[in-house]
Structure 1
Amino acid sequence: MTGSAASSQVGAALGAHAFATLGPAGVVAVRQFVAAAVLLPAVRPNLRRFTWAQWWPTLLLGLVFATMNLSLYTAIDRVGLGLAVTLEFLGPLAVALAGSRTRLDLLCAAGACVGVYVLVLPGPASDYLGVGLGLLAAACWAAYILLNRIVGARLPGLQAPAAATLVSALLYLPVAAILLAQGRLAGTAILYAVGAGILSSVVPYAADLVALRTVPARFFGVFMSIHPVLAALAGLALLGQVLEPHEWLGIAIVVSANALAVQAASTAKPRHAATTRARAALDRLTAGGIIRGRLSRG
């Protein structure tokens, strides 16, 4: 699990090295093509047999993939890897907390808000657009989890994520065409982008599948909290992004709030329907949602 998380963030840092040549949109395009090249031959979804009830959430899922990756990579370009990934992590945390109103859940939500404030410390020099894009990525991740619950019930296996990856890749064809016409889709930058696709999607996908054979899904969910920390370390080691003490403190608060929320949900008894829905959403996040989206999101 540690190797999976580290690979994901190292891949994101590699992708950032290609921003100067390809731009965030170009890096996302290459990543989506890598994901499609791996996932489609492996799953072979029968697209001709999809009904409209199966197609519309799949199309929305593809749009969410495209928007989530672009907003995250643009946020990384503007505010740094550690801050962007921490903000994105608010998405699954919000889903985990949305269906419950216990005091501990409210405390976790308040803690996450405090963590974001400490992390950003809003002021005249703050990059509000970058922060907003990080929060947009968080909203997309939350939408991805909810949509995954729908398509998971309507399509077997990985057919929906595979089809959604194809949709997302098609949306980025114009970006690739422009870069190709400008002669920018070549050289070291394309290697960085392909490396980002492999390290941030393919490797974590395979590693997580192996890990979940022996590790309980709830523990896996708690362990996911390590991602913002590793993102900050990858940004420091590979991009030279040195965080201020208040940024480290903000990341620590957000990570703690997420870990506490997941752990509390794993031990609490479902006393009412809202708690049951919260636990179902968390199950989808930890065991299903994260794994199924590995090849398509960062």
Structure 2
Amino acid sequence: MSVNSTTPPPRTSTFARPDGPLSRKNVLMAAALVLAGSLGVQVSSALASGLFSTFGTLGTSSLRFLVAALILLAIFRPKLRGRSRSNWLGIAIYGASMAAMNMCLYAAIERLPLGVAVTLEFLGPITVALLASRRITEALCAVGALAGVVLIAGPGGHFDLIGYAFGLGAALFFGLYTVFSARVGKTNDSMSGLALSVAFAAVLSLPFGIPVLHLVDLNSAGILLVSATIGVVLTFTADTLAARVSSSRVVGTLFSIDPVVGAVAGAVILGQSLTLTAVLGIVAVVGSGAALVWASGSNPPHVPER
């Protein structure tokens, strides 16, 4: 989660602009970007998992945000002056949602089966997609994607009140992430906004990273660098660009790609078997995504305002 940002006319001229009509090309481009981000999440998670025993899950997440923030700030060198209050608010909420959804998801996974936690988290972006849907076709695509995720994850009857609370918290922040990836993505300096958002996430998560910072050695530093580049820089950049060329309602549905990529990667790389229900879930998600692309074909092209 699988899973990023955007001359003057005022910086906020496109910040709160409502989603416009989309072309099939835009939705296909968004799907490709979300897929790239999802692949980055899976690869980086595999790399980062080897660090959990040393830094803990939250410590590893914090250090990855710190490394990613330094990379993005060095590349885009964002200006701090000249930004409106609403622009800073969007950047702050985007960054806070990044940090919070990771922490809540990790806390949920410690108490719930992975499938349950993943399904709960996905309620966030799918709710955004449903609320923002303008046609019944889009709403049905979102529902179909949710059904597919439930089948892939295979949630069982395990119940843990605190675990569910963290899972729903992850859903809330994933929903905010979905909304503000579009808002930051549609600003004129989206990449600078992304860099500042990731820096904000890094600062918020520092209390988990500082206590383990002294444990970083040359080997773990290399793993953190690669994991942060692939799993944070690449993924969040892809997500922000996907939201820039499409909308929150589209990426909210497309984020269902994450559990599909995870299931397929587990089968191909780790030799894990896919159940019939998981295969049906993959078909449902892919079919919902294809239907979303098809439904967008009759719409005129969408060009972000300048």
Question: Is 1:231 equivalent to 2:262 in the alignment?
Answer: yes
2:297 aligned to which of 241, 260, 267: 267
Q: What does residue 51 of structure 2 align with?
A: 18
Separation (CA, whole Å) in 2 of partners of 1:241 and 1:7: 20
Question: Is 1:145 equivalent to 2:175 in the alignment?
Answer: no
Deviation readout 1:151-187 (Å, 9 max, x if unpaired): 456662322211111111111222222113xx54447
Q: Which moved more, 1:140-149 or 1:88-97?
A: 88-97
After TM superposition, the score normalised by the length of structure 1 is 0.67
Q: What does residue 230 of structure 2 align with?
A: 199
Report matched runs for 1:47-66 at 5 Å: 47-66=80-99
On the 8 A contact 1:91/1:139 being kept in 2, the answer is yes
On the 8 A contact 2:184/2:193 being kept in 1, the answer is yes
Distance 1:251 1:135, change over 3 A: farther
Separation (CA, whole Å) in 2 of partners of 1:156 and 1:113: 33
- How many residue pairs get matched? 265
Q: Which runs of 5+ in 1 are unaligned?
A: 271-278, 285-298
Identity %: 34
Shift of 1:78: 5.9
Separation (CA, whole Å) in 1 of partners of 2:254 and 2:145: 17
Shift of 1:99: 2.7
Report matched runs for 1:103-118 at 5 Å: 103-118=136-151
Q: Which runs of 5+ in 2 are unaligned?
A: 1-31
Q: What does residue 10 of structure 2 align with?
A: none
On the 8 A contact 1:15/1:196 being kept in 2, the answer is yes
Question: Is 1:120 equivalent to 2:150 in the alignment?
Answer: no
Q: If each structure's helix is expressed as a fraction of its own residues, which one has the higher value? A: 1
Shift of 1:36: 0.8
The residue type paired with residue 293 of structure 2 is: Q
2:189 aligned to which of 156, 169, 179: 156
Shift of 1:196: 1.9
CA RMSD of aligned residues (A): 4.2
On the 8 A contact 1:80/1:241 being kept in 2, the answer is no
Separation (CA, whole Å) in 2 of partners of 1:174 and 1:201: 19
Separation (CA, whole Å) in 1 of partners of 2:188 and 2:108: 33
Separation (CA, whole Å) in 2 of partners of 1:51 and 1:82: 41
Q: What does residue 291 of structure 1 align with?
A: none
